[in-house]
Structure 1
Amino acid sequence: MKKKFLILFLLSYLFSFAQNEKKVDQQSILWTRYYNVLTLDDHWSIHTEFDNRVFLKPIAENLFVFRIQGRYKWNSNIETGAGFVYFSVFTQDPQQDYDFEIPEYRAQQDITYKFNINKITINQRVKAEERFIHNASKTELLDGTTFSWRFRYRLQAEYSLMEKENHYLKAIVYDEIMLNAGKNIIYNTFDQNRIYAALQYGINKNISVELGYLKSFQQRPSGVDYFNRDIIRLSIFHKMYW
């Protein structure tokens, strides 16, 4: 009797472990973006961003992002912003190609605090996002949206490698953690962690380019499915003045 009980206990334990075992999808993605800053005066500016993301193995469209926000610079250390984001998600799995795109609409607010230590600039950002994701099945869009919150904290350091007239070269590293909240969030309060390293080169006083590597580890709504993503990010920054 004791042996039977022990066998049942071991089987149930192994079954429970198998049910909770993580399923991690390894993915490689290329992010390309154009980021425009229109400076209105010493305090106000408008930031506009176009971001396209493509899977590399195999090549497939991941998603497209449009973001616009107004920002206010309180002083040399503190800046705040608020804006709107539109996502068009083609697929999260490069092996699956859907005939429709899933829209997501976001409002966002953030506060950024930065200060300098010699040639290093430390930048801390706290951001809140209100996310409205269009409901969808595996075959079509459904009526309505699902709402959730996401809170983000990023700690970033920038180090000046070269600065000459209108040209510069700097190294950038950061770590960002994201947490979900809301009644629809059950298994994935932790959303993801991003670690990033890049070089940014100022071509002139208005245009700079940045090439970096981003490691993203993200938990999916099931709680046991994860994305482990290796991301190459190419950015063009364009400054304009009113």
Structure 2
Amino acid sequence: MIFFKKSIFVLMCALGTAAIAQNSDLGAWYMYFGNNKISDKFNFHNEIQYRNFDAGADLEQLLIRTGIGYDLTENNNNILLGYAFILSQPYIRGEKSENIEHRIFQQYITRQKFGRFFVQHRYRLEERFLQDDFRMRFRYFLGLNIPINNKEMLPKTWYASAYNEFFLHLDSPVFDRNRVYGAVGFVINKNMRIEAGYMNQIQENRNRGQVQIGFYNNIPFTKN
């Protein structure tokens, strides 16, 4: 319970930081997350994120991420090795440019439950192969799901979701960015859910908002 209170405190502090920051503009992220069992211990992670400068078709970034994970305990404490391809199209002095990044990453995810509160921690190390550079980055993600009309995350359950994630370079400058998120989700069935919310990202003293819609698919590839 003490650990849970500390987790909530971290989330609230991050929300307060995001509220203070200035110079905000709004984008939209459309996301698909697949986490599919391929055996009792192994899982296949697959993910696509289509990120826009606005709600339309002005592409900011296309991210494709995949990996193979292994559960150290039953359905928990997952370690994963993965690869990501990132196509970015930022505006530089009013003109669009194009950058491609290849990324290898290692991560560890652990989950706990405190009453109605479902908590997730993710620790991720990334080796980023940029077009003209190589960088390493550490990310820590603290997420929370709270079912609303049921005590568990059962089919046809509405839930509230929140997370905070910070990014640190392993060289200077150390701070990269921080993300704070809040959403409402719906559990479609035991393997699928959908979520819609708002994420605020602070990077280099810039505060940018993103509307997010995410679909989560956990349909196993095994008969069991």
Q: What's the TM-score bracket when you normalise by the shorter of the two chains?
A: 0.7 to 0.9
The unaligned stretches of length 5 or more in structure 1 are: 1-23, 136-145, 220-225
Q: Which residue of 2 aligns with 1:49?
A: 47
Match of 1:202 among 187, 192, 195: 187
Residue in 2 that maps onto 1:109? 106
Alignment correspondent of 1:241 = 220
Select which of 141, 149, 155 maps to 1:162.
Answer: 149
Aligned to 1:82: 81
Shift, 1:195, TM fit: 0.8
- CA drift at 1:230: 0.5
Question: Among residues 59, 71, 88, which one is paired with 2:69 in the alignment?
Answer: 71
Moved more, 81-90 or 31-40: 31-40
Decide which structure has greater strand share: 1
CA–CA separation in structure 2 for the residues paired with 1:165 and 1:156 = 18
Change (3 A) 1:162 1:61: same
Query: What letter matches 2:32 in structure 1?
Result: Y
Q: Which residue of 1 aligns with 2:167?
A: 178
Mapped pair 1:191 → 2:183:
no
Kindly indicate whether the alpha-carbon contact (under 8 Å) linking 1:73 and 1:80 is maintained by their aligned counterparts in 2: yes
Q: Whole-Å Cα distance in 2 between the matches of residues 58 and 27 of structure 1?
A: 15
Q: Distance in 2 between matches of 1:126 and 1:33?
A: 20
CA distance in 2: counterparts of 1:227 and 1:61, whole angstroms: 20
Larger radius of gyration: 1
Deviations 1:152-180 (A, max 9, x none): 11222221213486322221111111101
Residue 70 of structure 1: how far off its partner (Å): 1.0
The question of whether the paired residues in 1 share the 8 Å contact of 2:28 and 2:55 is answered with no
Which whole-Å CA distance do the structure 2 matches of 1:200 and 1:57 have between them? 20
- Counterpart in the other structure of 1:118: 115
Match of 1:218 among 189, 203, 218: 203
Match of 1:230 among 205, 209, 217: 209
What SS is found at the alignment partner of 1:162? Answer: coil
User: Structure 1 residues 118 and 211, CA, compared in 2 at 3 Å: closer, same or farther?
Assistant: same
Q: In the alignment, which residue of structure 2 is the partner of 1:151? A: 138
Q: Distance in 1 between matches of 2:36 and 2:122?
A: 21
With the length of structure 1 as denominator, give the TM-score of the two structures. Answer: 0.74
| Residue pair 1:34, 1:235 contacting (<8 A) in 2 also | yes
Structure 1 counterpart of 2:26: 28
Identify unmatched segments of 5+ residues in structure 2: 1-21
Counterpart Cα distance in 2 of 1:36 and 1:57: 23
Residue 92 of structure 1: CA displacement?
5.0
Q: Which amino acid aligns with 1:64?
A: L
Count the aligned residue pairs: 197
Provide, for residues 1-30 of structure 1, a one-character-per-residue CA deviation record: whole Å limited to 9, x for no partner. Answer: xxxxxxxxxxxxxxxxxxxxxxx7533110
Is the alpha carbon distance of 1:114 and 1:165 closer, same or farther for their aligned partners in structure 2, counting shifts above 3 Å? closer
